[in-house]
């Protein structure tokens, strides 16, 4: 398996990933998932993203999370309990179930419309996953009941770290990825990202903590939206209508119109419950 490190990937690491066998396997599974469920996912895709796998950061994040789960499972017994926190609906939990069974995968999201979508998707799959509709600030799982919790490209979740700590077993894993707004205009600025990392490491242990995030973000060889847009504009998920709405809002508020794509990078880490 390709060696995928925590923190922010470099361009060379990202390009190596794109040519890896694991990437191609995951891409094929995702493509088939979208074809099989295109009618079921039509409305959801129109509201969110049609092809989650082929997003600039997700291409790395899905493989990163998968590699960390595989590593943890290899050291433990089978039948582990895994939570996809803030799941939306994607191919990824089904991919995990297919590749790593027997594992128990629970997906959760605040969107109540996902109940019916998951039911319909499960009818089309040999492997099914369970979905529960709830807010991550009040997770229904029992104390110390989960071996792994992963959270992919979720917004500021510093308020729910205590909940993650509560539901993860001692020695269990929290795997997290999040976008960083390089100009500070979006939700997670570099300063807020530092605060988020402080919150995580106050509860969990890990060996890959970056001590100077500003220095890391200033490097020219890290993956950003600008690099991804030059590689392939379709990797940036914002559609023309969303972009137009954003620019109209800026004009109404008499704010300068931001250059597209918005300057973002992303951060990946896995930590262990102390």
Spell out the alpha helix ranges (H) of the chain.
11-18, 21-36, 42-47, 58-73, 92-100, 114-123, 161-167, 190-203, 213-217, 225-231, 240-252
Interval 185-197: pLDDT, tens = 777 999 999 999 9
Predicted local distance difference test score (pLDDT) of residue 219: 96
The fold of the 11-273 domain, in CATH, is Rossmann fold (3.40.50)
Domain ranges of the chain: 11-273
End-to-end CA distance of the chain: 27
Interval 16-46: pLDDT, tens = 999 999 999 999 999 999 999 999 999 999 8
pLDDT at 241 over 60: no
pLDDT at 245 over 70: no
The mean pLDDT of 198-227, rounded to a whole number, is 92
pTM of the model: 0.91
Q: Please tell me the least confidently modeled range out of 42-51, 161-170, 258-267.
A: 258-267
pLDDT at 202 over 80: yes
Q: How far apart are CA 200 and CA 206, in angstroms?
A: 10
Which position has the higher pLDDT, 208 or 3? 208
Beta carbons of 140 and 134 less than 8 angstroms apart: yes
């Amino acid at each position: 398996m390709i060696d995928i490190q925590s923190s922010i990937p470099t361009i060379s690491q990202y390009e190596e990933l794109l040519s890896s066998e694991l990437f191609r396997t995951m891409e094929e599974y995702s493509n088939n998932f979208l074809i099989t469920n295109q009618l079921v996912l039509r409305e959801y895709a129109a509201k969110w993203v049609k092809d989650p796998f082929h997003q600039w950061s997700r291409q790395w994040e899905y493989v990163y999370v998968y590699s960390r789960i595989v590593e943890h499972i290899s050291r433990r017994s089978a039948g582990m309990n895994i939570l996809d926190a803030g799941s939306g609906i994607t191919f990824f939990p089904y991919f995990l179930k297919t590749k790593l069974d027997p594992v128990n995968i629970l997906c959760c999201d605040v969107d109540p419309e996902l109940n019916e979508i998951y039911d319909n998707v499960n009818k089309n799959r040999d492997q099914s996953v369970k979905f529960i509709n709830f807010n991550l600030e009040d997770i229904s799982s029992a104390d110390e009941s989960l071996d792994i919790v992963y959270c992919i490209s979720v917004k500021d979740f510093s308020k729910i770290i205590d909940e993650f700590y509560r539901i993860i077993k001692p020695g269990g894993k929290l795997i997290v990825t999040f976008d960083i707004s390089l100009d500070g205009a979006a939700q997670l600025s570099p300063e807020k990202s530092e605060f988020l990392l402080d919150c995580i490491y106050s509860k969990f242990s890990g060996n890959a903590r970056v001590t100077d995030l500003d220095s890391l973000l200033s490097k020219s060889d890290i993956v950003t939206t600008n690099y991804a847009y030059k590689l392939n504009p379709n990797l940036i998920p914002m559609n023309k209508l969303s972009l137009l709405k954003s620019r109209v809002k800026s004009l109404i508020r008499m704010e300068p119109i931001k250059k597209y794509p918005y300057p973002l990078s992303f951060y990946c880490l896995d930590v262990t419950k102390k």
